Amino acid sequence: ERVDNPYVGADVYVNPIWSANAAAEPGGEAIADQPTGVWMDRIGAIEGNDSPTTGNMGLRDHLDEAVDQAAGQPLVFQLVIYNLPGRDCAALASNGELGPEELDRYQTEYIDPIADILADYADTSLRVVTTIEIDSLPNLVTNVGDRATATPECDQMLANGNYVQGVGYALAELGAIDNVYNYVDAGHHGWIGWEDNFTASAALFYEAANANGATPDDVHGFIANTANYSALVEENFSITDQVDGTSVRESSWVDWNNFTDELSFAQALRQELVSQGFDAGIGMLIDTSRNGWGGPDRPTGPGPRTDVDAYVDGGRYDQRINPGNWCNQSGAGLGERPTAAPEPGIDAYVWMKPPGESDGSSEEIPNDEGKGFDRMCDPTYEGNPRNGESMSGALPNAPVSGHWFSAQFQELLANAHPPIQ
């Protein structure tokens, strides 16, 4: 029988591969025992193919190790399901191995084998928390049709239905296993926090939860900010503040968003999802792996009330050039350490994206993982409609997505907030 919040009264699995990478960095020992997500980012990762991203452990190896770590006590195992057909339709850095029409392979060569393996661990003390398909469904809301942000690839994934069908299949197959807790990816406030995409995204999540054999009962909750950089709480301004009668919503940073940070977004999205038909008991996760924004440049109080932009820009922790920037952000730091039940409606703060693993290469690097070169990872790029035509803010010299990026890890450590003791 499932518990309400799988993180309560449980430890969380420490991935030995990430842990060793972290421990090998100067200062990295301080966080090497933190739990991070285990990403099944290709079919080969299930068996363990000694790849640069997943190392030499397959899913079964991780689960055996998790059973050891659990020693009979409850232990959360965080598993990221990330291999949809036509993956990452609005970007190139994490394009995957399956073409847009390969739903069948997704189901039979990816989800089915994962479900078969997980079923063998259904009677252990593990609580398997899945994160279902990062950056998929929100793309079908914001990056399609006649919007300036549309891409032909996202139009195709909307038209062929394979994101919705794939997510539905994953929810149904994995949700049939007693100790699996499915959390669907829900983007972040800087993506679907606006009137014209917030409600529509929740509606699409509900559609996917009723597709291809799934029911809303297969959904235990949602995860916000996965692998993103949006601040947890912006303490120096709030959405209802005004400067001389002008709302902070009118500042260029907030740009009419209804939210300023992830905690307020995640709590409001939870309410919206419940009002659209999800169970009142659903819980939210927030990925705080890289949204700390500490270090010497962190504002210590509100900005000046000279005008609304000065007020917001002077006070905000999130130092990105634009909230649409997502690749290897310069100035970022580790966020809150993983924590169970930190706030109402929030099941946990988690580190789903393993800190130190790249978001994408800063220049074209040939690889056999299907990964493309996205100029959002190039520090000299001047942007596109999805980041307000801004500079990318990416660190230079980054390797292909998922590969270890020592310089980024060092910066995340240095700019951690709360700081590393």
Torsion angle of C-alpha atoms 97, 103, 106, 108, degrees rounded to 10: -140
CA angle 134, 139, 141 (to 5 degrees): 130
Nearer to ligand BGC, 252 or 397 (CB): 397
Cβ at position 147, least distance to ligand BGC in Å: 24
Q: What are phi and psi of 11, to 5 degrees?
A: -85, 175
Cβ at position 106, least distance to ligand BGC in Å: 16
Q: What SS3 class is residue 240?
A: coil
Nearer to ligand BGC, 53 or 151 (CB): 53
Nearer to ligand BGC, 173 or 357 (CB): 357
Cβ at position 2, least distance to ligand BGC in Å: 26
Nearer to ligand BGC, 288 or 401 (CB): 401
135 a catalytic residue? yes
Q: What SS3 class is residue 163?
A: helix
Q: Which long-range CB contacts under 8 A does 272-279 form with residues at least 24 apart? A: 272/198, 272/199, 272/202, 273/202, 273/205, 273/206, 273/222, 276/199, 276/202, 276/203, 276/206, 277/206, 277/216, 278/205, 278/206, 278/209, 278/216, 278/219, 279/216, 279/217, 279/219
Active-site residue, from 185, 218, 347, 359: 359
Please, are residues 144 and 86 in contact by the beta-carbon 8 Å criterion? no
Cβ at position 36, least distance to ligand BGC in Å: 9
Nearer to ligand BGC, 318 or 374 (CB): 374
Binding site for ligand BGC (CB under 6 A): 39, 41, 53, 94, 353-354, 357, 359, 401-402
Active-site residue, from 135, 218, 241, 374: 135
347 a catalytic residue? no
Cβ at position 173, least distance to ligand BGC in Å: 21
For the chain, the helix, strand and coil percentages under 3-state DSSP, each to the nearest 5: 30, 15, 55
Catalytic residue IDs: 135, 359
